[in-house]
């Protein structure tokens, strides 16, 4: 135990004191922020208002459509998180300049087509009475129309037409409005006999964040572990270490030391993110959706740590049976495949967390860190399933650690060509004491 602690301490201090650790810890959040903010910024940059012409049979009908198009979106759309991006928040009058043209002739159509080509206008909407009667209007422009704008246009025009038809049948404008008010669906999840607060979007985010963190941690720190095993082999210090401590102690100390470095880094990032995001988050009414229960937090910590241990032990094993980093990287796919498979399984888990396939997949230790955690977030599975998956995971980590420590002990004494599987198995025999 004392040796494990000494090795852990050395591993931790040596890493945390390096300049690259400092740079990475401070710079990565900056890079991430830029990477995330950049696409949104680029999309809105240089975006000018679109010039649109409405061609209608009468001036009055064209004008009603124009007004409806420029009207602010109704209040009840605000809680729809899907639309809460920056584009939708812009007012329609900033986005569009709308003219009305009551001259639906072929000559006018040709003229408008030329204007679109010469970029005098961005597009025109063909809204003649004939088109309305056929319930099919046409939008002409240089570019493909985004799907969301198409449905928005269709809704807007439908509403004007329906309003007109209703008032022509003797209904007042207020009555028509009342009648045309769409009906919204609000999803509420029942959890443990209570109405859960968060919507599906918040849950989904929680899962994505966890998967991203685990993925990054495994790749970052797992490779660190592998490199550090290789370093001890190539620098030959391993023989001195083995004359003072057991290989299990060495292995455990190394894994925990690198893990502690990772935790430190994540903690620093979390504090930084908290400091930056807190003011803006406090202003957001959506915050309530992201509230995470302590139970889910605990599950996150547990599965994250076990996931890290499992995968970094695999990395350490690769380090023990290879002699150079290139060789080690060739074997990395063995680790990446289960990780990628877990990510592929996420959608089925979120849709049908109870299906037999999902339940059994989430028991397999290599998938459990991501899949069982996702299941806990989506819909708390029966306790026995959580316990079984945890038990299997812990047993696998332990078994791998012992296996790896043995390989490590023998592998370090043999340099040169990478052993094949039968040779590795033979080492296991030599290593047993």
Interface stretch with another protein, choices 185-193, 312-320, 383-391, 405-413 (CB under 8 A)? 405-413
Q: Is residue 240 involved in binding another protein (CB under 8 A)? A: yes
Q: Considering the rule CB under 8 A, would residue 252 count as an interface residue with another protein?
A: yes
Which of 198, 222, 406, 408 touches another protein (CB under 8 A)?
Answer: 406
Considering only 20, 118, 243, 280, the residue that binds another protein (CB under 8 A) is: 243
**Contact region with another protein (CB under 8 A), list: 31-39, 228-236, 272-280, 349-357:** 228-236
Pair of tokens at residue 153 = 């246009």
Please state the closest distance from residue 14 (CB atom) to another protein, in A. Answer: 6
Q: How far is CA 391 from the centre of its chain?
A: 28
* DSSP-assigned letter for residue 146: P
The verdict on 398 binding another protein (CB under 8 A) reads: no
* 346: nearest Cα among 237, 206, 218, 196: 206
Q: How far is the CB of 363 from another protein (least distance, A)?
A: 27
Tokens 């009555």 -> residue:
175
CA gap 252, 364 in Å, rounded: 23
Is 313 or 362 the residue whose CB approaches another protein more closely?
313
Which of 67, 162, 172, 244 contacts another protein by CB under 8 A?
244
Applying CB under 8 A, among 236, 277, 298, 329 the residue interacting with another protein is 236
Q: 């979106």: which residue's tokens?
A: 73
Q: How far is the CB of 284 from another protein (least distance, A)?
A: 45
Are the C-beta atoms of residues 52 and 40 closer than 8 Å to each other? no
| Residue 430 touching another protein (CB under 8 A) | yes
Contacts for 282 with CB less than 8 Å, ≥ 6 apart: none
Cα–Cα distance between 189 and 366 in angstroms, integer? 30
Asked if residue 248 binds another protein (CB under 8 A), the reply is yes
Question: What are 101's strand-pairing partners?
Answer: 55
Query: 10 or 150, CB closer to another protein?
Result: 10
Among 145, 325, 301, 312, smallest CA distance to 233 is for 325
**Which of these, 177, 157, 156, lies nearest to 166 by C-alpha position?**
177
Residue with tokens 């023989």: 239
Question: Which residue shows structure tokens 């390096």?
Answer: 18
Distance, CA of 265 to CA of 277 (rounded, Å): 18
433 binds another protein (CB under 8 A): yes
Residue 399 is a binding residue for another protein (CB under 8 A): no
Of 245, 331, 336, 364, the one binding another protein by CB under 8 A: 245
Q: Which is nearer to another protein, 76 or 231 (CB)?
A: 231
Q: In angstroms, what is the minimal distance from the CB of 430 to another protein?
A: 7
Q: Which residues, numbered 140-169, are part of the site for another protein (CB under 8 A)?
A: none
Closer Cβ to another protein, 100 or 261, answer by number? 261
CB of 416 to another protein, least distance (A): 13
Count CB atoms within 10 A of the CB of residue 132.
19
Sole window of 36-44, 229-237, 268-276, 304-312 interacting with another protein (rule: CB under 8 A) = 229-237
In this chain, which stretch among 96-104, 131-139, 233-241, 330-338 interacts with another protein, using CB under 8 A? 233-241
Q: Which of residues 22-51 bind another protein (CB under 8 A)?
A: none
d(CA 273, CA 85): 21
DSSP string, 295-321: HHHHHHHHHHHHHHHHHHHHHHHHHHH
What are the CA-CA distances from residue 386 to residues 254, 311, 354, 360, 425 (Å)?
A: 28, 20, 13, 11, 33
Q: Among 31, 402, 420, 425, indicate the residue that binds another protein (CB under 8 A).
A: 402
1 in contact with another protein (CB under 8 A): yes
Which stretch of DSSP H or E encloses residue 124? strand 123-127
Nearer to another protein, 308 or 408 (CB): 408
The residue assigned the tokens 């430190």 is: 264
Distance CA 70, CA 84 (A): 19
CB atoms within 10 A of CB 54: 22
Could you say whether residue 426 binds another protein (CB under 8 A)? Answer: yes
Q: Is residue 254 a contact point for another protein (CB under 8 A)?
A: no
Stretch that binds another protein, among 71-79, 179-187, 240-248, 311-319 (CB under 8 A): 240-248
Shortest reach from residue 239's CB to another protein, in Å: 4
Bridge-based pairing state of the strands 96-101 and 50-56: parallel
Q: Which of 32, 179, 237, 425 binds another protein (CB under 8 A)?
A: 237
Instruction: Summarize as ranges the residues that interact with another protein (CB under 8 A).
Output: 1, 3-4, 6-7, 10, 14, 18, 231-232, 235-249, 252, 402, 405-406, 409-410, 413, 426, 430-433
């Amino acid at each position: 135990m004392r040796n494990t602690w000494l090795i852990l301490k050395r591993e931790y201090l040596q890493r945390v004191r390096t300049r690259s650790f400092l740079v990475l810890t401070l710079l990565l959040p900056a890079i991430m922020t830029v990477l995330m903010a950049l696409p949104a910024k680029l999309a809105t940059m240089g975006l000018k208002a679109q010039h649109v012409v409405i061609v209608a049979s009468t001036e009055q009908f064209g004008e009603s459509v124009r007004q409806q198009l420029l009207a602010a979106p109704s209040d009840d759309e605000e809680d729809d998180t899907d639309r809460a991006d920056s584009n939708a928040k812009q007012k329609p009058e900033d986005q569009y300049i709308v003219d009305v043209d009551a001259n639906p002739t072929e000559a006018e159509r040709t003229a408008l087509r030329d204007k679109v080509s010469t970029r005098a206008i961005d597009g025109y909407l063909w809204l003649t009475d004939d088109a309305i009667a056929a319930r099919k209007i046409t939008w002409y422009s240089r570019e493909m129309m985004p799907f969301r704008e198409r449905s928005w246009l269709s809704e807007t025009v439908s509403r004007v037409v329906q309003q007109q038809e209703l008032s022509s049948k003797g209904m007042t404008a207020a009555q028509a409005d009342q009648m045309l008010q769409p009906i919204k669906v609000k999803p509420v999840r029942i959890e443990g006999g209570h109405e859960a607060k968060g919507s599906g979007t918040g849950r989904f985010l929680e899962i994505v964040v966890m998967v991203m963190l685990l993925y990054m941690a495994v790749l970052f720190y797992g490779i660190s572990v592998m490199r550090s095993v290789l370093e001890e082999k190539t620098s030959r210090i391993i023989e001195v270490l083995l004359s003072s401590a057991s290989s299990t102690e060495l292995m455990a100390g190394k894994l925990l030391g690198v893990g502690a470095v990772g935790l430190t880094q994540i903690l620093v990032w979390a504090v930084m993110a908290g400091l930056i995001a807190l003011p803006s988050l406090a202003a957001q009414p959506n915050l309530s959706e992201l509230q995470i229960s302590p139970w889910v937090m605990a599950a996150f910590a547990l599965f994250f740590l076990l996931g890290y241990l499992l995968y970094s032990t695999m990395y350490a094993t690769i380090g023990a049976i290879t002699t150079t980093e290139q060789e080690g990287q060739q074997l990395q796919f063995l680790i990446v495949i289960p990780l990628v498979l877990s990510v592929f399984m996420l959608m089925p888990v979120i849709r049908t967390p109870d299906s037999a396939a999902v339940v059994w997949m989430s028991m397999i230790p290599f998938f459990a860190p991501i899949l069982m955690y996702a299941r806990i977030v989506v819909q708390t599975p029966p306790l026995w399933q959580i316990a079984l998956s945890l038990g299997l995971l812990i047993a696998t980590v332990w078994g791998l650690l012992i296996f790896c420590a043995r390989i490590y002990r023998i592998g370090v004494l043999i340099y040169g060509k990478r052993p094949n599987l039968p040779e590795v198995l033979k080492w296991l025999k030599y290593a047993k004491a």
